[in-house]
Structure 1
Amino acid sequence: MNSIDDVVASIKAHKPQGRPAEMRAAFAALVGPQPAAEDVAIGPAGGLAVGSGPTLLWFHGGGFVFGAPETHVALARAIAAAGVRVVLPRYRLAPEHPWPAMLDDALAAIDAVPGPVMIGGDSAGGQLALCAARRRTVRGVAVLSPNTDRTGASRTRKPLSARDLMNDDAGDAALAREAFGDRPGDDPDVSPWRSDLSGIAALHIEVGTEEVLLGDSLLLAEAAVLAGVPTALHMTPGLFHLAALWPDAVPGAAAQLARLGAFARDAAG
């Protein structure tokens, strides 16, 4: 896509809704054609990789119901431009495979990389990275607009639902029910900002100011700082949820991904 107008038109034309298969097809159409990537054997089901340098495992978003490595290659390439190899592991999706199936797959992917590795993800993939980081030693965690709060503590989910082009509170909650069922909102996997974050070596958070999940990032950043985690939070004015899926078309999106890539490169030591 060549412009923000193209992106907005695609979002309006391909809203993920209906059955899971329909949502997956709509999301793939929404993001549009992706660049080529290398097939890699990692975790239970493999994945895709782009770039060269230290490895950053990046878990794709999509509410744990849709999305795939194939929908996130443009985003991954923009991160990789900072000098890292971005690997997009494939993980099982709900409702066919509810939580913790995707967490088990993420941990298997981390275990497949020798030594500590950087991990990250966008939206639900950022939530997945945060949950995995509590269970494995990693060099750093880089997240883009992560889901972190299902307790109702966030003050932006409902107010920004009418302004966020890609997300709204009701739809986000419906996806969470598919993945987590009746798990309570204060479960540390369901709301990672309430978990013990002290074992994270370093954390970088990117979010837009027009996002339903802006409050999720604010809660996460505060909790991480209070836990003693070196934390950076960057809020880009005007960006909607996952605008970075179109780094060449949405102003400000490429800069988000460049900062995430630089963090991952520097965290590698």
Structure 2
Amino acid sequence: MWRKLRITVLLLILATVVQQTWLDKADLAWKNNFYIAVYPINADGSSKVSAYLRTLTRDDFEAVAEYFAQEAAPYHLGLRRPIEVQLGAAVDKIPPAPPNGGSVLNNVVWSLKFRYFAWKNSPKVNVKPDIRLYLLYYDPLTTLSLSHSTALNKGRIGRVNLFGDSAYVKQNLVILAHELLHTLNATDKYDLGTTLPIYPDGYAEPDKTPLYPQDFAELMGGRVPISEAQAVIPKSLQQTIVGEKTAREIGWLK
């Protein structure tokens, strides 16, 4: 009896995985636009970040939708705005952090915990979201550098670390857009050890002569290469592009 029950459960899990994989592939045909819900979180509990979150409006994220409309235009998706961003209510809980150098099992367990968190902490927005991003804001005066953000394409959820200060709005949107594309199967195109973009896919202009300095960052490359050994964070989304390999990964280019 227990053997039959285990087999039934495994078959149900397999069916769910197959169905989700099929749905993910169907979504990336871009027959419809993606609705993203962003949920602000006061990650350090400071009064400064709390005050900053109260100032946020949907318009603060409009640049992301406009950016992806601009970048998608050459690929003729047939969608005027392939990405729409909705601002959800603030969430007062913090999603589980990914394990540091964890085993495959630890990462799987964390992934399940994160998905459960998202299921329990998704305040309603006007349109049911395809992607949910939890924006963890920190006071830049007490948190001098942000830890690595993480997003999952299975479940299409992200844990995005940002600075809760108006001076960082434009750079925050670069991080947000980068993590958003991870939920759509885009891969990182920088060296995890050095953070330098990997040539050629992590370069916005791999055919430029001379190669350095580059003028733009490839969004998933993360930085603007100034020389072979130096790269800087882009000032805004307008200093980034979606490169050819990334476009292929997210289904814009066949």
Whether the TM-score (by the shorter chain) exceeds 0.5 is no
Q: Rg larger in 1 or in 2?
A: 2
TM-score if structure 2 supplies the norm length?
0.32
TM-score if structure 1 supplies the norm length?
0.31
